Amino acid sequence: MTQVESPAQVLRGLGRAFAGAVLFALPIFMTMEVWFLSATIPRWRLGLLVVLTVVLAIGMARYVGFMGGQRTGVKDAVVDAGVALLAGVGAATLVLAVLAVVLPWEGWRFWVSVVALEALPATLGACFARSQLGSSSQPGEQETAYRREVFLMCAGATVLCANIAPTEEVVLIAARMTPLHGVALVVLELALMHAFVHGVGFKGGSPSRPGFISVFFRFTVIGYVVATAVSAYLLWTLGRYDGTGLLPALMQVVVLALPASLGAAAARLIV
């Protein structure tokens, strides 16, 4: 059973969620490529991205918990996810309006498109900020703890990856790289990710420290697969594969997997 928040706690949570949304999504708020891409992305892809945003927000509330630091039930998770989504959309709208990116006379379609595209990192930023309101107590079952770790890696990969995926630099860097560069980058990404994963420790699991091989395959490799999947999906949503071959598309995924893998590993430091 979850704790009932007082009005002061509700306001504090809303303020922290709004601040977290701005903090995590400010780079994408001020990225010009996002404004142009939002006008060209098919509406059904944007709709799918919004659905993903809601699912990730509910998952954050379900596995991490916002009220009292405990995991919440499905109903409470939906409510908390709604608060985070409201904070993310509100932060995106306010910042974009203040920066004169969204103007009233430009039409509501552009406003909806650009806010929908930028709501993903903003909403997850609000989730990460609200998760810090409670204590760090978490369920101790090993299976539940492992699912939580994997989900956190997915959320961390998404929030950092979403800030970089719309930039042209991802395409330009991928075009300059050879397959040998790509292999070297994958090795570097795995090494950096494992340095984070193995050094942080694991919450909610067994008190004994897992071995190097176990951590590498159960967390680093799985986390890297999750990070590359997130990278591939976001690039597809932005239309980066349109008119390109398999190798250029794969190189873009590998390039974007660098921030995604670091975000996946560092998310466990934040929550």
Write out pLDDT tens, residues 172-227.
999 999 999 999 999 999 999 888 876 655 444 444 455 667 778 888 899 999 99
φ/ψ of 177, rounded to 5, equals -85, 145
Whether the Cβ atoms of residue 153 and residue 265 lie closer than 8 Å to each other: yes
Distance from the Cα of residue 230 to its chain's centroid: 9
Express each pLDDT in 114-131 by its tens digit. 999 999 999 999 988 877
**DSSP H helices in 64-203:** 74-98, 108-131, 142-164, 168-176, 179-200
Q: Which of 45, 53, 37, 38 is nearest to 87 (CA)?
A: 53
Percent of the chain with pLDDT over 70: 81
pTM metric for this prediction? 0.83
Q: With the C-alpha atoms ordered 160, 165, 170, 174, is the resulting torsion angle positive or negative?
A: positive
Whether the Cβ atoms of residue 82 and residue 20 lie closer than 8 Å to each other: no
Express each pLDDT in 60-114 by its tens digit. 888 776 554 455 567 778 888 888 899 999 999 999 999 988 887 777 788 888 9
Please give the structure tokens belonging to residue 196.
Answer: 């984070």
Give the pLDDT of residue 200: 59
φ/ψ bin of 242: left (φ > 0), alpha (ψ from -120 to 50), beta (otherwise): beta
